[in-house]
Amino acid sequence: MNYLKRNYKSVIIKNGHLKAVYEKPEQADTASMIKYENPLSVHPDLADAMQKLAPHVRNISALSIMQELYVLGYIKVNSGDSQLVTIFSRVGEGCDDYARKGVSTLESRIYVGKDDYSALKDLMDIMDSIEREADAYIDFGKNFETDSAFEMAEKDIEELKMVNQ
């Protein structure tokens, strides 16, 4: 399979589902804008990757470490010689519950190529890992509902151990 490097404009978890917008390269140096939505629940890998942005949100927005924070995604917009990155988060008690109402939202902005941010490389590496997770959804159909789990009672585990001895 040929891997397609997408130029993501946004990667967002909305109501527990992945939404992304990216440019699909075309011939003759053109690109088409593609909107991707997955109606299935996001896999914990994507949610965990997104939460790695939390320290950057705290740094950019001067948010207290005591404040609960849950990162939902980001949008990238070209702006002259720089790129505006806006990271969306929910703040406050119960912020990781998508259905909970009355939770504050926070938009943290940084201009990549303009602002002097000491952890910029780490921020960009995290965004790359999030985009690789989004690629897994688009290319391979990854989502939480494709995972399988088995629950076994302790007595069944012990029986299985005895059979395998």
- Residue 1 inside a domain? The answer is no
- Residue 2 inside a domain? The answer is no
- Residue 23 inside a domain? The answer is yes
pLDDT classification of 74: cutoffs 50, 70, 90: very high
Nearest Cα to 92, choosing from 82, 84, 102? 102
Count how many domains the chain has: 1
Q: Which pTM does this prediction carry?
A: 0.79
Distance CA 146, CA 107 (A): 32
Provide the residue range defining the domain that includes 32: 7-163
115-146 pLDDT, tens digit each = 888 999 999 999 999 999 998 888 887 766 55
- Residue 14 inside a domain? The answer is yes
Mean pLDDT for the chain overall: 84
- Give me the pLDDT at residue 4, please: 62
- Residue 143 inside a domain? The answer is yes
10-66 pLDDT, tens digit each = 999 998 899 999 987 777 667 788 999 988 888 889 999 999 999 999 999 998 888
- Residue 38 inside a domain? The answer is yes
With a cut of 50, say whether residue 91 has pLDDT above it: yes
- Residue 69 inside a domain? The answer is yes
Structure token digits, residue 127: 């965004």
Pseudo-torsion of CA 134, 135, 138, 141, nearest 10°?
Answer: -90
- Residue 87 inside a domain? The answer is yes
Distance CA 72, CA 69 (A): 10
- Give me the pLDDT at residue 146, please: 52
